[in-house]
Structure 1
């Protein structure tokens, strides 16, 4: 259950000496309140008028800041209920972070099929020392302890993706294989609920590769089979790295689909 809405006395007028457009200052202040745990995932924010008055800004300025945070999936508006700090859910994972879909048959599939949530099977969990690539992605020193997780993802019972996830061990203290396997929801929800880390966005690089022997065995294909490899760094507030993930996708019958949009700033 969400905590009770925090009183307006926790909000203070923005300093007159703040840098940048006023709505950006409002946005940074709202981000700070969330990042420091003043408002946690699932909490209801005070009414817009209360926040605007507390920060000493107009409703229009506040709404522009909130609009950006909604677009960035930090906040979510619910008609008639208010504005909430966003929770990671299966739907959010599916539409923001999972981009693999069955390839439509032009002769029969005029309308895209409904998106399918993948079945995720953990096939490896180990502790190790980071290599140079992992360390650079996570902004840690080479050789620092990391947790390496391997998952096999299937759609309609067919294995289509192998994920190798790397986490900085000091960030995820207390994460065990049992805790990971028995999480009640998505991996990103686990990060958020158990470790206070909200994944807001991801930076990805995509390249064509040949399936390694290990990946081929995991996905039931021939070694050397053509694959798509996606290198992702998941980011939290302040572009802080949360995880480094390498996804290898068998694209014989599936596509990597990304929907692009522009948000006016």
Structure 2
């Protein structure tokens, strides 16, 4: 039980009580106590169980909702967020057609392979060279027009059997449902590049054509890096939209 006394002695690294409650709830999500789409106990139930006030629980849940980890539904309660297409469009897929209408791209898998991690994968995923990774390459399109060439790298031990299973368009939903790995956050680096010949051919443009390179590391609920995704994006008819708050 978490101490509910805010005036108790504060050790080094003390965190406000609501952040301690938030960490407790996150740990339960990581451990699979509540699966995506399921309802959490009421604020009153959680408060009684953890040993804090209902207001403290509400503040912790508000933080989780702001991070899109849980969803508040008026009159129904609080639910673990799912990686449906709407959430991915607004939280993780930042390329928007110039007409402003958000659309989820179609995907075609080019190849799936397994190999030892290279230097970039080791750095991004926090693994060593002995770890084997699953690499997925796919082409993503809007209305059959190639838009993004993606290469995804994932530690094989976290996603056993992924290399032999069908690869759906919505991978984040698969990670959560099949492997219990929920993507909570991602870090991205953007850079303008000129396309190499092989990549340009797959995207249907001339070698040396300009593209936006997006290097994304996806993090699970506990902050561990679980996916490296490198995307080469054509931007003649789309733009990268970031909603800064």
Q: TM-score range by the shorter chain?
A: over 0.9
How much has 1:45 moved relative to structure 2?
Answer: 0.8
Deviations 1:219-262 (A, max 9, x none): 1001110111000000012210110000100111211111122x
- 1:1-265 alignment runs, 5 A limit: 13-15=1-3, 19-104=14-99, 112=100, 114-177=101-164, 179-181=165-167, 183=168, 186-261=170-245
Contact 2:134 2:163 in 1 (8 A): no
Contact 2:30 2:222 in 1 (8 A): no
Q: What TM-score does the superposition give when structure 2 sets the normalisation length?
A: 0.92
Aligned length: 238
Contact 1:131 1:143 in 2 (8 A): no
How much has 1:143 moved relative to structure 2?
Answer: 4.4
Deviations 1:171-222 (A, max 9, x none): 1112134x233x4x61000110111100001001111111112211111001
Contact 1:235 1:242 in 2 (8 A): yes
Unaligned runs of 5+ in 1: 1-12, 105-111
Which secondary structure state, in structure 1, belongs to the residue aligned with residue 129 of structure 2? coil
- Give the Cα–Cα distance (whole angstroms) in 1 for the partners of residues 39 and 108 of structure 2: 34
User: After the TM superposition, which of the residue ranges 196-205 and 75-84 deviates more from structure 2?
Assistant: 75-84
- Give the Cα–Cα distance (whole angstroms) in 1 for the partners of residues 215 and 123 of structure 2: 13
How much has 1:118 moved relative to structure 2?
Answer: 0.5
Which secondary structure state, in structure 2, belongs to the residue aligned with residue 88 of structure 1? coil
- Give the Cα–Cα distance (whole angstroms) in 2 for the partners of residues 155 and 258 of structure 1: 20
How much has 1:88 moved relative to structure 2?
Answer: 1.1
- Give the Cα–Cα distance (whole angstroms) in 2 for the partners of residues 120 and 54 of structure 1: 45
Unaligned runs of 5+ in 2: none
Deviations 1:141-195 (A, max 9, x none): 0242111101111112211111100011111112134x233x4x61000110111
